[in-house]
Structure 1
Amino acid sequence: MGQYIHGQTLIQAFENWAPKKLAFENDKIGLQIGTLNKKVKKVMVTLDVLENVADEAIEKNVDLIFAHHAVIFRPLKDIRADSGQGKIISKLIQNDIAVYVAHTNLDVAEGGINDMLAQKLGLTNSQILKPTYTEPLYKLSVFVPESHAAQVREALGSAGAGAIGNYSHCTFNIQGTGTFLPEEGTNPYIGEKGKLEQVSEVRVETIVPESLLNRTVNKMISSHPYEEVAYDVYPLDNQGKTFGLGRIGELPEAVTLKELAENVKERLDLDGVRVTGDLDSKVKKIAVSGGDGNSLIPFAKYKGADVIITGDVYYHTAHDALLHQLNVIDAGHHIEKVVKEGAKQYFEEVIQSSGCYDTTVIASSANTNPFIFI
């Protein structure tokens, strides 16, 4: 029997990278077809799920398709096996191929689509272009006997609590006296039933992001010697990590807009790009967005970008960009195909770390770009 990773395990690991809470409201993400409750021998990563992708998955005995764009985006009136989306869905169901979708949550995530593009294009000092989500922070306070304070502090830090800037394991400690009276049915670590106890304790405080709160509390409790652990959790007004759409960074040195367009075409393996602006103008500060970049034009201009590279720009939006002296390179929505390489690498790392070495990950070779350059 091979060592294959379970579908739920694989996706749970992925959602630590790009949690669903980062997705935009009403975005169609998550499991769309089939089940994750199975061992996965082969994963295929794709940008889109079209019929040629489904056929490729069947031919290559794929168990799970990971896609950036949803196979089911609008409500379906029917699922016919002989036409339209129904044909794709029927093929996948008949061959027990699950489809999991990560869209705007993977656009926004750190290391996601936009970071992949920024890296491909050689941008430095990359930052978020448009913030969309700030993670809530919590203060966790726990009361622990002095003899076990170091042990509990280590558990908190190893769970990821106490990270402030480039510092980890940050806590504040106050010594005091704890009192308690063990009653019938208890098995106290310290003290006797029916006798009021006074114990030298330490109040350990630390800061925890929402995404790590449950794990931190569980690790803290498991490391604590008491049968019943006294702790408090407080929501904070402090701002946690910020996530968002697009990225803005700099090229190592200024180039002409024409040179940049040619470089984009080469680095992203494109047949062509559309450009607005003076081709001879020098550009250095670059904004990038994988999908529809129309709403990001004002943010790119406000943050001082010389040019925005994106997947879709409307005709009149291009006019607006020209009026604001912002150059545009419309490289087509298909530039998001960088997901195939990036997600494949991530899943391979998860599989290796889990010890399930027999599960394989492949990138779809099917062409899903609907446009042909003549």
Structure 2
Amino acid sequence: NKPTMQAWIMTESTTTHRVFVRNPYYWKVDTAGNQLPYIDKIVSTVVNWEIYQMKVISGEADVAFMNTSFENYSLYKENEEAGGYTVTLIPGTMAAEVGFGVNLTHPDPVLREIHQDVRFRRALSLAINREEINEVVYAGIGVPRQLTALSSASYYKEEWEQAYGQYNPGEANRLLDKAGLTERDKNGFRLRPDGQILEIMVEYAVGGEFEAPVTLLELVKEYWEAVGLSVLLRSADQALYFERMDSPDHGFATSPKFAEEVRGYLLERDDDDWYIGNSDLGWALQWGEWLDAELAIKRGRATLDDYGGEMPGEEPPAEIKQLFQWGEDRVLAEFRSPEYIEAMQKVFDWHAENVVIIGTVGMVPVPYVAKNNIGNVPKAYNPAGGWPGDLNYFAEQLFFKR
């Protein structure tokens, strides 16, 4: 019973479904002057990941895109005729379908020193065979690339996409040796300076939009173990995964990563991984908490008393403060102005050199499944889109064919 500018009004919400009815006062009309949206009522069912996929291929859903996956594309296509639907591939705009965040503020001082050595992080990136991942996991349809800006960005530099992104296990081994990780156990795994096995724990979510393809993770595990790094893959449901990411001792984070320019500028804190370490890829949780608090105090949204009289997390080094400041500079600058482009290039130059977040394959299409009687199915994202949920932008123009 509250006013809304949305196309539909939610009238019912339970643990199993949500009901939305058409907003008769919605502010948009089509080119012929007809009131939008066209569809009067939406019923959205709440199901788990596996049931969602079964409902898609059986044709039970009129429209599905939020949790479809390219890994299931062939399955969707095989059942297209029987399910009475059509699969449209929406061109992907992800900088990485799966990115890895190296935890630079881990509470284990030995791990922290290793993670903060740029030679270690560059070696991790060079050990990954992105071309093979693209072929095996994404049928060759994605773009093997480092985790960086998209080529459509006004500040883009081509060299960023290949910064320590070539497959070169020989150079990866050399860098790991240079970083002092020369000692190995009887199984060939590298040892930490304290004599323990250097183990990389990769944490990933099962179910939901942050789920990483297990095949991709197993390939990365294989690549890293080939250069002497022991790897443990640790899964959790999405809620527990996010709880783990809030803990300073979390392992390597995994997440899809956006880099769409318009979206990043309009939604100031939507792409924080580029500027601060306590976002989706959690590459410096402790430093990020400190920077967030400092900004809140500076802007008058909080006082030190709100943090118990002392700053949370840990004060970051000067270069991390500078990275964060470049992120603030781009927000204050006019979009695509010289000042804006300069700030953004400094940010991505820094990431290209420091490799705190590591990419694999990006720009994989999103399967949009719609029953054959649905019209105005989108063919691409809107200019600020990139997350599958952004395809809701087009829902007001969907209609049932007669």
TM over 0.5: no
TM-score w.r.t. length of structure 2: 0.21
TM-score w.r.t. length of structure 1: 0.22
Q: Whose strand fraction is larger, Structure 1's or Structure 2's?
A: 1
